[in-house]
Amino acid sequence: MTLDDAFAESGPFGEAFPGYKLRAQQLEMARAVADTLEERGQLIAEAGTGTGKTFAYLVPALLYGGKVIISTGTKTLQDQLFQRDIPTVRDVLRVPATIALLKGRANYVCHYHLERARHEGRFMRKEDILDLQKVERYAKVSPSGDKAACPGVPEDAPIWAHVTSTRDNCLGSDCPNHKDCFVLKARKDAQEADVVVVNHHLFFADVWLKDEGAGELLPACNAVIFDEAHQLPEVASLFFGETITSGQIVELARDARAEALVIAKDYVHLPQAAEALEKAVRDFRLVFRPEPTRMPQHEIAEKFPAYAAALAVVMEKLGVLETQLAAQAERAESLEKCRERARVMREGLTAWQEIEDEEAVHWIDLTSHGFLLHATPLNIADLFRKQLHAGQKAWVFASATLAVNNSFKHYQHELGLWDARTEMWESPFDYKQQAALYVPRDMPNPNTPDFTRKVIEKAWPLLQLTHGHAFLLFTSLRAMREAHELVTEQLKEAKLEWPVLLQGQGSRTELLDKFRSSPNAILVASQTFWEGIDVRGEQLSLVVIDKLPFSPPDDPVLSARMQQLEKSGRNAFIDYQLPHAAITLKQGAGRLIRDEFDTGILMIADNRLVDKPYGKVLWKSLPPMFRTRELDTVQRFFEAKRNGRKTQEDQDAG
């Protein structure tokens, strides 16, 4: 079957879907993907919203691809591809392709840790005991052990930390439950499947870096397709670097103590050493200010003099635990595993304390209750290119947001994709008729204290116009929380009982479900909701973005990369910060119009978009919406569209 046959209105999709219409952009992208598969080449493909990029890469992949790995940006999209999109295309095309879903090991119930959790019974909350019982029942009947399918237990429930394994605490072939392992079954299915669906984090951690024994997938495949490929530079930087977290150290201490209570009850020094290490980790975090922050290694000692001594105590207690584990390691493989983890962790901490070089930045990420110690490479292009040229296979990088001002140079430079073919297809939507971009006048400088209050003041007439049905997206959590309070106050004064949802008050899926099902809903959110969200129709009629999404200049990795660029004679703002902001802004703007019948308003409250010379780059990267700075103009635009929609609905009803 040719691609023309597949996508023809009289073809299989036309038969399967009443009202199906051929989209020229979709067919052109499918041809480009097919050429790349045949040539074992590299393709960077930007396909605007509504192009149908998922089917555009799936059709050639299933028809001509052989064994294909498809990597997505999120587990949500991963599940959607596996459960809905790929089976649909396979059935329509009538191709006998087998499909497998592969997630990280933390997504699968571990029989060994489930049994250990049941025996230990150290749960403080009644809910944890009930959740444990549900997981036990699920593990007995589930063919996959995927926690996403466990009824009645949320994916973020605390119990999952006790009943899943990590790379560190997996016993491998020494596990008594090795034959029944859900992770091994998922990997076996992936080895045998024609199409394997993973996500970017798993691709780098499991497949590329071969950290968890699934590295044989990549050599066996003919093609790798990245959807939501704009996320790759950030994910690759994370996995090409090194990270040690307080959670990993505490987990080691708890695992050592738990094993000691079962296997070495007569050896009191081991649980004592584990408890001492846990206390040292807590004390280390207390050295710093309570609120989350990030800073490079070279600044820490200046700002927090007690840091070096506290880290030395962590190292000392880690060494003591390693010694105590070595003394008992012969008694069980699980204790030997813990000893090896302690050694690797101690060596990692030693390496992190070394003076950073020009190739990597060493920095600390302080969370509310813990910390992460990172060593992040400043340039991943060379590392990425080495992997691309190892073996003959096709590579496809697809997203709705990869180009900046119609150029792919920034993306190519980040990943070293200089040999790649680049293609761009505009969205088929009529943005000038469907959406208005409003940049209000008289906005203060984004750094002024009353900026968020002014954003809500300018957005309020639009919220009244659209009767809620809005996303309010902010570039910082502080601004998000302030905006939530201001909107809640405003609604109270207006005696309007519209639901106001706040990021963090539930999982992303829960909040989205509430938003979709609640009339007049307003969602106030930060970066989590800027991408990967699809709400169609009148339910989302307004998107407000407070500021241009420039990364904070005090971010340690950004700061180091900018210094490196300046040293090499390049303009760090133009070559790095601006392209990143343009891609992020496109993602946020992309939430508004999701199909050919949608209409709405995008308000960007940052006057730099209009007043600064670089604003033109950002303007040109956005969809070609109707643009105005006048409130009455945007109100007339929306009312005309709303009245036109009602007239059409009345005609359809008649």
Residues 30, 23: Cα–Cα separation, whole Å: 11
For residue 264, pLDDT beyond 70: yes
For residue 68, pLDDT beyond 80: yes
CATH architecture of the region 431-653: 3-Layer(aba) Sandwich (3.40)
- Give 3-104+184-239+379-425's CATH code, choosing from 3.40.50.300, 3.40.50.720, 3.40.50.10420, 3.40.630.30: 3.40.50.300
Q: pLDDT tens for residues 194-213?
A: 999 999 998 888 777 665 55
- Bridge-based pairing of strands 195-199 and 223-226 is unpaired
Residues 316, 273: Cα–Cα separation, whole Å: 10
Mean pLDDT over the full length of the chain:
90
In this prediction, residue 215 has a pLDDT band, given cuts at 50, 70 and 90, of low
For residue 167, pLDDT beyond 50: yes
Q: What percent of the chain has pLDDT over 70?
A: 96
User: Which ranges constitute the DSSP H helices of 172-286?
Assistant: 182-192, 200-202, 217-220, 232-240, 246-263, 269-286
In this prediction, residue 654 has a pLDDT band, given cuts at 50, 70 and 90, of very low
Q: Count CA atoms within 13 Å of residue 135 on its CB side.
A: 32
Q: pLDDT tens for residues 621-646?
A: 899 999 999 999 999 999 998 777 65
Residues 94, 85: Cα–Cα separation, whole Å: 14
Q: For residue 510, what are the CA distances in angstroms to 94, 126, 539, 593? A: 35, 23, 16, 22
Do residues 295 and 364 touch, judged by C-beta distance below 8 A? yes
Q: What percent of the chain has pLDDT over 90?
A: 66
Q: How many CB atoms lie within 10 A of CB 95?
A: 13
Question: Is 316 buried (19+), middle (13-18) or exposed (0-12) by CB count in 10 A?
Answer: middle
* DSSP state, residue 123: -
In this prediction, residue 325 has a pLDDT band, given cuts at 50, 70 and 90, of very high
Whether 431-653 and 3-104+184-239+379-425 are alike in CATH topology: the answer is: yes
- The per-residue pLDDT for 210 is 63
Residues 10, 20: Cα–Cα separation, whole Å: 9
**pTM exceeding the 0.85 threshold for the entire prediction:** yes
* DSSP state, residue 375: E
Secondary-structure class of domain 242-373 per CATH: mainly alpha
Do residues 249 and 322 touch, judged by C-beta distance below 8 A? no
- The per-residue pLDDT for 653 is 46
Please tell me whether residue 61 adopts helix, strand or coil conformation: helix
Q: Tell which wins on pLDDT, 126 or 413.
A: 413
- The per-residue pLDDT for 124 is 63
For residue 216, pLDDT beyond 70: no
Residue 604 main-chain phi, psi, to 5 deg:
-115, 115
- Among 17-26, 215-224, 323-332, 434-443, the range scoring the smallest mean pLDDT is 215-224
Paired tokens of 431 = 């943005």
For residue 649, pLDDT beyond 80: no
Delimit the domains of the chain by residue range: 3-104+184-239+379-425, 105-167, 242-373, 431-653
Q: Number of helices and strands (H, E) in the chain? A: 30, 18
Contacts of 518 (CB under 8 A, 6+ apart): 499, 501
Strand order in the sheet with 223-226: 99-101, 195-199, 68-72, 223-226, 394-399, 42-47, 421-425
For residue 388, pLDDT beyond 80: yes
Which residues on adjacent β-strands are paired with residue 295?
364
Q: Report, as an integer, the average pLDDT of 523-528.
A: 90
H-helix or E-strand spanning residue 561: helix 556-567
Paired tokens of 522 = 């307003």
Q: pLDDT tens for residues 459-499?
A: 999 999 999 999 999 999 999 999 999 999 999 999 999 99
**Amino acid sitting at position 4:** D
Paired tokens of 10 = 């009289």
Residue 398 main-chain phi, psi, to 5 deg:
-120, 140
